[in-house]
């Protein structure tokens, strides 16, 4: 499945110990140029838990807002840029929404914090 940067997708996400997987929402953060030419994409996870919401590597998506509704998420959630994964696009089950330009700019800041890029 071809995806675009900023799309919210459902991924058959592998456990880090490789004992199984779980379907979970993620945001595509890889560039569209690479999304068009590669069969893999880079995603960050989304969690409905918000305990770490104050972290510079996390972004809250409030589904009560128009931008949050555009994401396709069912619950107010936290995008976790500290949890980055490259996945084969065959593991992407479907697209559920997109993040708006403002959210993507804030997400870029979270990615920089997660990767230690000034």
pLDDT tens-digit series, residues 12-27:
988 878 888 899 999 9
d(CA 20, CA 66): 35
Contact 61, 71 (CB under 8 A): yes
pLDDT of residue 18: 81
Q: Per-domain residue ranges for the chain?
A: 7-115
Mean pLDDT for the chain? Answer: 93
| Residue 54 pLDDT greater than 90, yes or no | no
pLDDT of residue 63: 95
Please tell me the pTM assigned to this model: 0.92
Nearest to 14 by CA among 92, 75, 73: 92
Average pLDDT rounded to a whole number, residues 31-52: 91
Tokens 């890029």 appear where? Answer: 117
Domain 7-115 coded CATH 2.30.30.110: yes
pLDDT of residue 25: 97
Number of Cα atoms under 13 Å in the Cβ half of residue 104: 16
| Residue 51 pLDDT greater than 80, yes or no | no
């Amino acid at each position: 499945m071809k995806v675009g940067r900023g799309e919210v997708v459902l991924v058959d996400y592998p456990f880090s110990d490789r004992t199984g997987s779980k379907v979970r929402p993620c945001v595509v953060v890889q560039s569209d140029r690479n999304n068009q030419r590669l069969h893999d994409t880079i995603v960050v996870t989304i969690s409905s838990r918000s305990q770490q919401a104050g972290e510079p590597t996390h972004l809250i998506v409030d589904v009560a807002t128009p931008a949050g509704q555009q994401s396709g998420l069912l619950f107010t959630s936290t995008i976790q840029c500290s949890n980055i994964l490259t996945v084969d696009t065959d593991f992407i089950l479907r697209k559920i929404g997109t993040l708006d330009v403002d959210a993507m700019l804030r997400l870029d800041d979270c990615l920089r914090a997660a990767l230690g890029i000034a």
